[in-house]
Structure 1
């Protein structure tokens, strides 16, 4: 009896969802192909630039000579947050700013130009290797977050038909 009631409730819920104008997050095949075809160009030779390039390629897939080219330029800034009794910073914040443009490949005109900022805090231990490792972890976190934000903005732009 309970099983029949559960099946009835699930069936009614499914019918209700079918009429609510719900659209899948990933859109139709044309939109997916447009996002997958974005060629990534990250200017700069720093570690953060290479990590952002890799993260964006993970999100957009292998470049396929599509309609768009994403050009990004990074800048980082580190500031001390916590100061110990010895007057040495023991906690820092790493801020990453990425200025990016989505450029139409055929015409070379920018379809959108925006900027994203991300930040991550990290401890600065006294041991040199641990300090390097903590900073690299912060770099990884800010580039992953920036790539997520950029991918969402580009996907939204493409989904809206370039508006």
Structure 2
């Protein structure tokens, strides 16, 4: 297919959006720019909670002193053995997480948004035979911490998207 034909097809595919009032979420007047500095994210007090909050602050920006919205997150994670050898050694884990979120506007009792989001991340752990070397134990711990960080950041991205969509719907 020639380049000009692809360009024409792409233009025709996007043309209906121009007439329906579609506005990009991340456009200059979209919810993403309007919420910058307007969302206060409560502290979670855990390592993975720290990663989650930091990613949310990257997405929403540091809150202004008079930020009208407060986002509360309750994060629950659990680890599960995925791969068990014949000698009952666990060599792969799955870390699952659930984030219950509540977005409140200052001075309003009813939450603007309440939702529950989930995700998971996996990591490898060396078998105990290999773990006799100290470096393998350190590598296993680093892999676990990396999975915690990846899970928290994934959940933060889901939360941010959900908040932005809710804000966009409320502004209409």
Matches within 5 A, 1:31-50: 31-36=31-36, 37-43=38-44, 45-50=45-50
Matched ranges for 1:1-150 at <5 A: 13=11, 17=15, 19-21=18-20, 22-27=22-27, 29=29, 31-36=31-36, 37-43=38-44, 45-64=45-64, 65-125=66-126, 126=131, 127-150=136-159
1:2-61 Cα distance to aligned partner (Å, 9 max, x none): xxxx5xx76xx49x7484444223245373454211111133x22111111111111111
CA contact (8 A) 1:34 1:66 kept: no
Gaps of 5+ in 1: 1-5
Structure 2 unaligned regions, length at least 5: none
Q: Matches of 2:25 and 2:33 in 1, distance apart? A: 14
Q: Pairwise CA RMSD of aligned residues? A: 2.8
TM-score, structure 2 as length reference = 0.78
TM-score of the aligned structures, taking structure 1 as reference length? 0.82
